[in-house]
Structure 1
Amino acid sequence: MDATEHCRRLERLYHQANVQQLFGGSSISVSHSKAEITLPVEPAYFHGADAVHGAVCFKLLDDAAYFAVASVVQDVFIVTSSFQLNLIRPVSGGTLKAVGTLRSRSRQLFVAEATLYNEKGKEVAFGTGQFLKTTQPLDSLEGYNAHISCN
């Protein structure tokens, strides 16, 4: 399979994950060594001070970094082994955009970074993660093989 088809399958995998039911309206674009995710901010994502909870920031950053790595791994599923999150400023509206980039790779260990921006393009959080290959074949995942259209 070519790289473009692999990236489209990863986008389908992202959208079909059960956790995405909590994050309606998000979209993803995967290309070689890069992934971008957008999410309209909803009050349901707020903590007690009416700003986006850090857990939402983590999810967006982890997913963007993860799919940047996954774009170059076509045989097996990968997992996050660690992720360092840095929150810079609160967000209480608009649309968030996470951009993930592959930084380093070896046979089994991959390092990627991601930056989260508000709708004005200001950085609101960033993070770096380590990702490992598993033995689970990508072809065994229903969402990877599904033939549905993406956003």
Structure 2
Amino acid sequence: MSTKPEAHHRKLERLYLSANVQQLFSGSSIEVSHSKAEIKLPVDSKYFHGAQAIHGATYFKLLDDAAYFAVASLVSDVFIVTSSFQINLLRPVNAGTLRAVGTVRSISKNLFVAEATLYNERGKEVAFGTGQFMRTNQPWESLEHYELKLNNKN
């Protein structure tokens, strides 16, 4: 596939926003660029644990997604998957907007390493993580929301 990088990045953004799981994370946004991704999510009490702060599962999702899409920005032929992810939670958040920034650290033929940092609205680091990502054999074009299909055109 010879998709221009910017076109691939826009397709990845559309894929992210159209995923079913995003119905649970309404209001999130994503910006993908070369080896980097930034995701924002307004804090909502629906993400809180019993002590009224963001649950770690939300931290994980934002960190994993930011690192994942940083790697995906470099892989324009096939879908990738997370093979492992290490997360470190530093401080609670219960208001504002969360911002996750993912960047690629290491590239090999089939294994990529990326890191992500999660910030609160004041720019204070609240969590970070490092993940490993692998190529699959599934072409991006086979994914329903990667390619914009109009009418009966494929």
In the TM superposition, what is the alpha-carbon distance from 1:147 to its structure 2 partner?
5.7
1:105 maps to 107
The CA distance in 1 between the partners of 2:55 and 2:148, in whole Å, is 32
* Cα root mean square deviation, aligned: 0.9
1:37 aligns with 2:26: no
Which of 55, 59, 62 is matched with 1:53 structurally? Answer: 55
Q: TM-score if structure 1 supplies the norm length?
A: 0.97
Instruction: Give unpaired runs (5+ residues) of structure 2.
Output: none
Residue 68, structure 1, aligned to residue 79, structure 2 = no
- 1:128 corresponds in structure 2 to 130
Query: TM-score, normalised on structure 2?
Result: 0.95
Aligned partner of residue 21 in structure 1, secondary structure: helix
Which residue number in structure 1 is paired with residue 5 of structure 2? Answer: 3
Higher relative contact order (CA 8 A, sep 6+): 1
Q: Deviations over 1:100-133 (max 9, x none)?
A: 0000010000000000000000000000000000
Q: Secondary structure at 2:21's aligned position in 1?
A: helix
Q: Percent identity, aligned pairs only? A: 72
Whole-angstrom CA distance in 2 between matches of 1:87 and 1:67: 21
Provide structure 1 residue ranges, at least 5 long, that are not aligned to the other structure. Answer: none
Structure 1 runs of 4+ aligned residues shifted over 2 Å read: none
Count of paired positions: 148
Is 2:15 aligned against 1:13?
yes
Deviation at 1:146, TM superposition (A): 2.1
User: Larger Cα Rg: Structure 1 or Structure 2?
Assistant: 2
Please tell me the residue identity of whatever aligns with 2:96.
Answer: G
Q: Distance in 2 between matches of 1:127 and 1:79?
A: 16
Following TM superposition, by how much is the alpha carbon of 1:142 offset from its aligned partner in structure 2, in angstroms?
1.0
Structure 2 CA distance, aligned partners of 1:143 and 1:105? Answer: 26
| AA in 2 matched with 1:50 | Q
Q: Distance in 2 between matches of 1:73 and 1:22?
A: 27
Q: How many Å apart are 1:140 and its aligned residue?
A: 0.3
